[in-house]
Amino acid sequence: MAKKRLKIIPLGGLGEIGKNMMVLEFGEDIIVIDSGLMFPNEEMLGIDLVIPDISYLLENREKIRGIVITHAHEDHIGALPYVLPQINVPIYCTRLAKGLISGKLKERKALAQAKINVINPGGQFNLGRFKIEFYPVCHSIPDAVGLIIQTPVGTVIHSGDFKLDHTPVNGLPTDLSRLAQIGGQEVLLLLADSTYAELPGYTPSEKVVGEALDRIIAKAPGRVIITTFASLVSRVQQIINAAAHHHRRVFITGRSMSDTVKIATELGYLKIPDGVLARIDELRNMPHEKTVIITTGSQGEPTSGLVRIANRDHRQVNIVKGDTVVYSASPIPGNESLINRTIDSLFKQGADVYYGRIAQTHVHGHASQEELKLLLRLVKPRYFMPIHGEYRHLNLHARLAQSVGIPAENTFALEDGDILELSPKWGKVTGKVGTGNVYVDGLSVGDVGGIILRNRKMLSRDGIVVVIIAVNKQTGKLVGRPDIVSRGFVDINESKDMLEESRDLVAKILDHGRRHTAEWGFADSKVRDALNRFYYEHTKRRPMILPVMVKV
Amino acid sequence: MAKKRLKIIPLGGLGEIGKNMMVLEFGEDIIVIDSGLMFPNEEMLGIDLVIPDISYLLENREKIRGIVITHAHEDHIGALPYVLPQINVPIYCTRLAKGLISGKLKERKALAQAKINVINPGGQFNLGRFKIEFYPVCHSIPDAVGLIIQTPVGTVIHSGDFKLDHTPVNGLPTDLSRLAQIGGQEVLLLLADSTYAELPGYTPSEKVVGEALDRIIAKAPGRVIITTFASLVSRVQQIINAAAHHHRRVFITGRSMSDTVKIATELGYLKIPDGVLARIDELRNMPHEKTVIITTGSQGEPTSGLVRIANRDHRQVNIVKGDTVVYSASPIPGNESLINRTIDSLFKQGADVYYGRIAQTHVHGHASQEELKLLLRLVKPRYFMPIHGEYRHLNLHARLAQSVGIPAENTFALEDGDILELSPKWGKVTGKVGTGNVYVDGLSVGDVGGIILRNRKMLSRDGIVVVIIAVNKQTGKLVGRPDIVSRGFVDINESKDMLEESRDLVAKILDHGRRHTAEWGFADSKVRDALNRFYYEHTKRRPMILPVMVKV
């Protein structure tokens, strides 16, 4: 029998930003690292969320010892409500992550089944043949960790999402000493965050933003309205500190912001001095120069606090001249135009707006190139695998690894589903498991596939023409004149003549005494072809043509 | 009678990037500056192009003395093929602009009607009461100009699109001396490009890119494939120079690139040393280290050269290890994900890819903040109006103007359609003309409006359900069981039972012996409401419901 090897199988998160999920397998034991979702891109019309395909996990259900969570961002925990009902295994995570995951599961009514174990940063636990240690990392949410995993073939380090902030605002700095210590004892494999592998230099410390926010609040003549990610607790802390410093009261608006502030305060991650926080209904009587409002909407979400404010659709807040609005967040790719529209609208109403391109109101939470090289130098892994990123990020990160001495043949820029097998002296991609996007659309998970998306795409471009063809159920022959109804295609009044002409065309095609009932496939494709050609000639558009036969 | 005033009316280009068009009117004379198009944003489903609403011009057709073009980019000339057939007035532009406009009109078969007058940079001409002078500016296309317009109430300067490149690669630097001279004689109004008003400092010179390209080509082990904007002739020149410097042959692929290289070479804007250019069919036998390919696709356009290469769908070029690909362009907002996908795919196939975020392979063509302030200081206008940009750009530019001493009350950050009236001592917004987006979709201009776009949006999200209801034409009563056909909604096999149930629901609603023919509006809305509710309950989706009555 062949010697057992360690298998590393990414089920999501390579070649895309989001839906992070990684399998570590040795013999009869599997651990799963993270279970994230991805937000749909512009091709995924009507889709709410995207989660990983977990067929491999379902096939190997009895081997799974647990799901280990590095931190509580959606791209690392968002698939849990869909995954847990299918594979009910224990979860291992830090305290804040447990709080946020519980909230999420409760919302989806899946809490009862979940066993969530809290492990503090620095803590250790065993899952089958794997011995796992959480080490603290800095990221844009408190209580984030990386993993040191002892396996029978050697040590694996999983960086989680991280940066090296020497002056973090809350929590611990990334534990470089522990990494150096482990790096001195031979590390088999490093899996490291590639999200910002494009950026040269170092990512600035979270502290920098606090100073910028303090300056803006100091000189603002009226209200200061600040939006950020709800989970960016250190940012909320800095806003509260700056507000308190300038004797302003703080109002929280937007559901996810209120929820997170509540959980983070209860768990002790957010420290709010007495008398600073005020209820939103006290806002009316507060002098503008004594007011700071923290709200959701940093990504231009249509129902969020800031977007309602920008659209003059917020119950408590209407922009007036003298207001200052601060975007303390960066656009998630794809959201740029929604955000720009919101900024434009705020400017139009007289607000002074500060945002990333014109002021340092945000720093992100991922390591830049110099930090990535430092991690590689400290850990000195035999094998390296870039994770968390699109292909260009993975490739650039692999290039960085080679620049600090990892041989190209020991660097694995993989795709989702690739099986990387490792022994202490040997590493190779040996196969592939099925992976892909599973679409969540409304209540259903996985029923939307290629055909539905292609149809939505086609409908979105040039609309639809429905052709109603009545045939006699005995003779199979055409009855009356075919009817045509269109939506999203042309202006029905302006194009009346053309649409009428196309009805005649259908009548002409079908009116040859054929038994259309018997040969509906033939009639159907003849009508489609003829109308496709006719409409394209007249409009250069290609609506979906949907012939419907009615037997009468 | 009131004294005549100068009217400035932007018909497009304020609050958006694109479809630039500006009216200057005095008494019986109108001149139009630029006539551009805009590319559709993600909300404008299925739309090909957006052009300005020219109702104001049609109402004042007899006053229009000409259309003055600042440069030949699509956002300044792209609407001409649609505007000229409606208002056939002479065009005034530089030589390269004439070449490119003629090509565009020929394509749309509108050339015969057009009178295009060439004015060289530095040249002057009169249109009614306006005396116009072209002054050279640097921008990302040769032969770009700004306008010095003498009007009966004072001098107006229109910056065009510009930057202050002291070492331009072809053409003249922006004529600062002439601007200083005019600035010494009292300028009534400055209209200036706001596109990059967010950027601090100075925009780097085009020369910088030449050096970067030379370094990349020098060390590339194999072919170098470079994509840029076809109209960025100075970039093409620099690529050719660098290729020649390293004894490589240059191949051009992609239709718009080939066309522009041809026109620019004929007109003398592009200088290609003998023996450098090669035909694409010679490519097969050329050693890779002797090859540079210039291609289209810098915006990820699906049918462009580079995207075909990335998709392994190009007749002559397939990526092999050792290839270097260079993006010598920046993403136009909205195109980021298409471009990223192309870069990812090239990396995956083994190419080394250089692009804006990791190498200085592009500089843009617009003035940054320090250049904008310099222009304001040189011109010293009484009134200032930021143009070309979204609202945040216009507002930030207005803020810059105030920082160099223009009083806030003399600064006009307007919206499209606003009428700014000026006398030598007085400036005020006095009214508004109708403006907006006119959509070009296929052959038709302007027939697509809000309803069609809303329908396409709805169809794109959750598809459509067509309900075919047969009623007896005499009795008006339901015949048979209603039929249901859906597209883009649910998986038809998986959701068979639900769809069948919804047919029964429709039958139940309608089967009450009513004369549906007489009350179709009532039946129609009852079916819609019931199915909306039914489908939302079962799927949390909201497809378009389209009941169709067939009288039999």
What pLDDT is attached to residue B108? Answer: 79
Question: Would the pLDDT of A73 be above 90?
Answer: yes
* Cβ atoms A463, B459 nearer than 8 A: yes
Q: B541 — contact with chain A (CB < 8 Å)? A: yes
* Cβ atoms B30, B448 nearer than 8 A: no
CB atoms within 10 A of CB B15: 18
* Cβ atoms B445, A484 nearer than 8 A: no
Tell if the CB–CB gap between B345 and A442 is shorter than 8 Å: no
Q: Which of A196, A411, A460 to mutate to test the interface with B (most CBs of B within 10 A)?
A: A460
* Chain A residues within 8 A of B544 when measuring between CB atoms: 487
| C-alpha closest to that of B163 among B370, B395, B406, B309 | B370
Residues 397-416 of A with CB under 8 A from B: 415
* Mean pLDDT, residues A305-318 taken together: 94
Q: What percent of chain A has pLDDT over 70?
A: 98
What pLDDT is attached to residue A520? Answer: 81
Q: B132 — contact with chain A (CB < 8 Å)? A: no
* Mean pLDDT, residues B353-367 taken together: 94
Tens of pLDDT, residue by residue over A213-223, are 999 999 999 99
Q: B326 — contact with chain A (CB < 8 Å)? A: no
pLDDT-based confidence at A1, cuts 50/70/90? Answer: very low
CB nearest B461 (choices: A46, A337, A544) = A46
Taking CA atoms, what residue in A is nearest to B461?
A: A46
Say if pTM beats, i.e. exceeds, 0.90: yes
Tell if the CB–CB gap between B490 and A15 is shorter than 8 Å: no
* Cβ atoms B188, B422 nearer than 8 A: yes
**Pair of tokens at residue A71:** 């931190």
Tell if the CB–CB gap between A463 and B442 is shorter than 8 Å: no
Question: Could you tell me which residue, B531 or A517, shows the higher pLDDT?
Answer: B531
Domain with CATH 3.10.20.580 in chain B: 450-551
CB nearest B462 (choices: A46, A357, A443) = A46
Tell if the CB–CB gap between A395 and B550 is shorter than 8 Å: no
Q: Strands B130-137 and B144-151: what pairing? A: antiparallel
Tens of pLDDT, residue by residue over A313-355, are 999 999 999 999 999 999 988 888 899 999 999 999 999 999 9
Angle between the B520-539 and B496-510 helix axes, to the nearest 10 degrees? 150
Residues 437-496 of A with CB under 8 A from B: 441-444, 447-449, 452-453, 455-457, 459-464, 466, 468, 470, 479-480, 483, 485, 487-491, 494-495
Helical ranges in B28-68 per DSSP H = 55-59
Tell if the CB–CB gap between A538 and B443 is shorter than 8 Å: yes
CA distance A40 to A38: 6
Give B219: exposed, middle or buried? Use CB within 10 Å, 0-12, 13-18, 19+. Answer: exposed
One of 3.40.50.510, 1.10.238.10, 1.10.1200.10, 3.60.15.10 is the CATH number of B6-201+364-441, namely: 3.60.15.10
CA distance B233 to B99: 14
One of 3.10.20.30, 3.40.50.300, 3.40.50.450, 3.60.15.10 is the CATH number of A6-201+364-438, namely: 3.60.15.10
Tens of pLDDT, residue by residue over B410-465, are 999 999 999 999 999 899 999 999 999 999 999 889 889 889 999 999 999 999 99
* Chain A residues within 8 A of B455 when measuring between CB atoms: 463, 487-488
* Mean pLDDT, residues A536-544 taken together: 96
Q: Which of A48, A344, A483 to mutate to test the interface with B (most CBs of B within 10 A)?
A: A344
Tell if the CB–CB gap between A449 and B340 is shorter than 8 Å: no
* Mean pLDDT, residues A82-103 taken together: 94
Tens of pLDDT, residue by residue over B106-151, are 887 766 778 999 999 999 999 999 999 999 999 999 999 999 999 9
Q: A541 — contact with chain B (CB < 8 Å)? A: yes
Question: Would the pLDDT of A110 be above 80?
Answer: no
Q: Which of A14, A198, A395 to mutate to test the interface with B (most CBs of B within 10 A)?
A: A395
CA distance B428 to B409: 9
Tens of pLDDT, residue by residue over B168-223, are 998 889 999 999 999 999 999 999 999 999 999 999 999 999 999 999 999 999 99
CA distance B488 to B459: 8
Domain with CATH 3.40.50.10710 in chain A: 206-354
Give A273: exposed, middle or buried? Use CB within 10 Å, 0-12, 13-18, 19+. Answer: exposed
Question: Would the pLDDT of B513 be above 70?
Answer: no
Residues 23-62 of B with CB under 8 A from A: 41-42, 45-46
* Cβ atoms A278, A250 nearer than 8 A: yes
Residue with tokens 């001493």: B405
Tens of pLDDT, residue by residue over B282-338, are 998 999 999 999 999 999 999 999 999 999 999 999 999 999 999 999 998 888 889
* Mean pLDDT, residues A270-275 taken together: 95
pLDDT-based confidence at B1, cuts 50/70/90? Answer: very low
CA atoms within 13 A on the CB side of B520: 15
Question: Would the pLDDT of B90 be above 90?
Answer: yes
Question: Could you tell me which residue, A356 or A131, shows the higher pLDDT?
Answer: A131
| C-alpha closest to that of A544 among B487, B436, B144, B38 | B487
Helical ranges in B267-368 per DSSP H = 305-310, 336-348
* Cβ atoms A31, A130 nearer than 8 A: yes
CB nearest A358 (choices: B334, B396, B491) = B396
pLDDT-based confidence at A551, cuts 50/70/90? Answer: confident
Helix, coil or strand: residue A483: strand
* Cβ atoms B197, B398 nearer than 8 A: no
Residue with tokens 């045939």: A471
Domain with CATH 3.60.15.10 in chain A: 6-201+364-438
Residues ≥6 apart with Cβ < 8 Å to B109:
none
Average pLDDT, rounded, for chain A = 94
Residues ≥6 apart with Cβ < 8 Å to B442:
A462, A539, A540, A541, B48
Instruction: Count residue pairs from A and B with Cβ separation < 8 A.
Output: 196
pLDDT-based confidence at A521, cuts 50/70/90? Answer: confident
**Is position A397 annotated as part of the catalytic site?**
no
| C-alpha closest to that of A94 among A113, A68, A114 | A68
CB nearest B455 (choices: A442, A487, A546) = A487
User: What architecture is the B206-354 domain classified under in CATH?
Assistant: 3-Layer(aba) Sandwich (3.40)
Question: Cα torsion for B508, B509, B510, B514, to the nearest 10°?
Answer: 110
What pLDDT is attached to residue A390? Answer: 96
| C-alpha closest to that of B427 among B411, B414, B416, B415 | B411
Tens of pLDDT, residue by residue over A523-539, are 899 999 999 999 999 99
CB nearest A466 (choices: B395, B489, B548) = B548
Domain with CATH 3.60.15.10 in chain B: 6-201+364-441
What pLDDT is attached to residue B2? Answer: 54
Taking CA atoms, what residue in A is nearest to B542?
A: A442
- The catalytically annotated residue of A75, A143, A165, A193 is A193
What pLDDT is attached to residue B269? Answer: 94
CA distance B128 to B112: 24
Q: Is B297 left (phi over 0), alpha (psi -120 to 50) or beta?
A: left
Residues ≥6 apart with Cβ < 8 Å to A1:
none
What pLDDT is attached to residue A2? Answer: 54
CB nearest B541 (choices: A442, A541, A550) = A442
Taking CA atoms, what residue in B is nearest to A445?
A: B539
Question: Would the pLDDT of B512 be above 90?
Answer: no
CA distance B229 to B362: 11
What pLDDT is attached to residue B102? Answer: 92
CATH topology of domain B450-551: Ubiquitin-like (UB roll) (3.10.20)
Taking CA atoms, what residue in B is nearest to A488?
A: B452
